[in-house]
Amino acid sequence: MSSVSIIGAYNTKFGAFVEKNKETGEVTDTKTYYEFLIEAGRGALEDAGLEAGDIDGIWVGACSPSLFVNQEHVAPLALEVAPEEFRFLPTTRTEGACASSSVALYNAAWAVESGRFKKVLVIGVEKMTLLSTRDTTHTLACSSYWPEEGSRGMTFPGLFAEYAKGYMSHYDYTPEELRKMLASVSALAYRNGVENPLAHFGRNSPPDRLGLFSPEAILNLPAEGKGSNPMITDPLRLHDCSLISDGAAAVVLADTDEAVSISSRVVELAGLGMATERLAESARPNMHELIAGKIAVDRSFQEAGIAIDDVDFAEVHDCFTINQLLCTEALGLSADGQAGWDYIDGRFQSDDDCPVNLSGGLKAKGHPVGATGTSMHALSYKQLVGEPIGKSPGKHSPEVGVVFNVGGSAATNCVTTLVRRK
């Protein structure tokens, strides 16, 4: 079991923080990368009740700042959270595609476990909306296996479409059956997202205005025109894809023994499970399950000494709706091939034994890729200390939560078991 705990967390509002002139194409940044990073870092410190001088190390997770905002060497930017107090602290940036800040959190936790650090700050940040759709697509494709995938025009919807096709083929589902399964995932995300004040697709967002809270409402959308659900990469449609977003999140970590002596809001990182799949999809033995994800789940649960029946809620990586099915099965919440039917049957809502993506997930909350891992941990922390942002489990006060964060085309798999300390 890990000996490191979260003692404070903060999540900025997620969304598109730009203004675009439709006539000239000019894009104006309304909230910068730097502002997001600073807000998240300061917010986490305040939430932990610590002074900046209490921190002795900083980790920053960021996917591709050089392409998104023309900024490399981002770890030193974290000093701007507290310029005087943080100056000369060691800072480290990690990259793991969409799991960049979970990798940062894991590295920071291991540093605390080593004894070299006592209290550390972990920040995840990304600003994605300054680029055109074409340039954003290219930037994300750089996290694929470039020689075989990105360089040949394979996009991330295309990479996860291969999982969707593999899943459909392996379990002998019709396109219509799969489409209803995926629409059920989207509808759940939108229902939960409208309750999350930090979500990109929250109140008064397009899904809210269109009433996309049932699979039928999504299935009935036209394929073309305003308010449509066009095919992106067969079989994935627009409403199967997560959002291009801006935002940041941060957590403060401390040795658990010290944490319980200084705070009553302590959530232990009870199990850290990480497993890496080969980057090229052509090198993987099948495309109907997250093999590395299942290994990461097993490692996390074993370290924490728990089983899936002990888990009170899960935040899983729904970059595309098909991946939510795969994560649900990898966790053991559904049998292999069964998750889609479970979502159709209405499982995993707030009143379920183990609700999934109470935050709205990446589909509704937003997916600023470098910030996603810390966001999943920050919002799970808030659930466990009785300060939920958005929906909370309906049956009981949660004590155990799981975060399942995936990087790239399910190459980097990070599974964290979080346990509230009494």
Enter the tokens of residue 10: 């903060």
Tell me how far CA of residue 158 lies from CA of 36, 135, 144, 202, 229, in angstroms.
30, 16, 11, 27, 17
Nearest to 6 by CA among 383, 413, 407, 414: 383
Question: In what helix (H) or strand (E) does residue 167 lie, and over which residues does it extend?
Answer: helix 156-170
| Count of beta carbons in the 10 Å neighbourhood of residue 25 | 8
DSSP 8-state class, residue 12? P
Q: Report the distance separating Cα 353 and Cα 28, nearest Å.
A: 45
Nearest to 243 by CA among 78, 408, 129, 377: 129
Strand partners, 91: 58
Interaxial angle between packed helices 156-170 and 321-331, expressed in degrees from 0 to 180 and rounded to the nearest 10: 60
Interaxial angle between packed helices 175-193 and 321-331, expressed in degrees from 0 to 180 and rounded to the nearest 10: 90
Helix (H), strand (E) counts: the chain = 15, 13
Q: How far apart are the first and last CA of the chain?
A: 16
Nearest to 18 by CA among 107, 97, 133: 133
Is 377 among the residues known to form the active site?
Answer: no
Catalytic member of 239, 288, 317, 367:
367
Nearest to 71 by CA among 109, 32, 112, 39: 32
Is 367 among the residues known to form the active site?
Answer: yes
Enter the tokens of residue 216: 């039928």
Q: Report the distance separating Cα 167 and Cα 314, nearest Å.
A: 22
Catalytic member of 63, 98, 241, 414:
98
3-class secondary-structure state, position 93 = strand
Enter the tokens of residue 282: 């052509």
Q: Report the distance separating Cα 272 and Cα 345, nearest Å.
A: 31
- In this structure, which amino acid lies at residue 145? Y
- In this structure, which amino acid lies at residue 323? N
3-class secondary-structure state, position 20 = strand
* CB 330 within 8 Å of CB 356: no
Active site residues: 98, 367
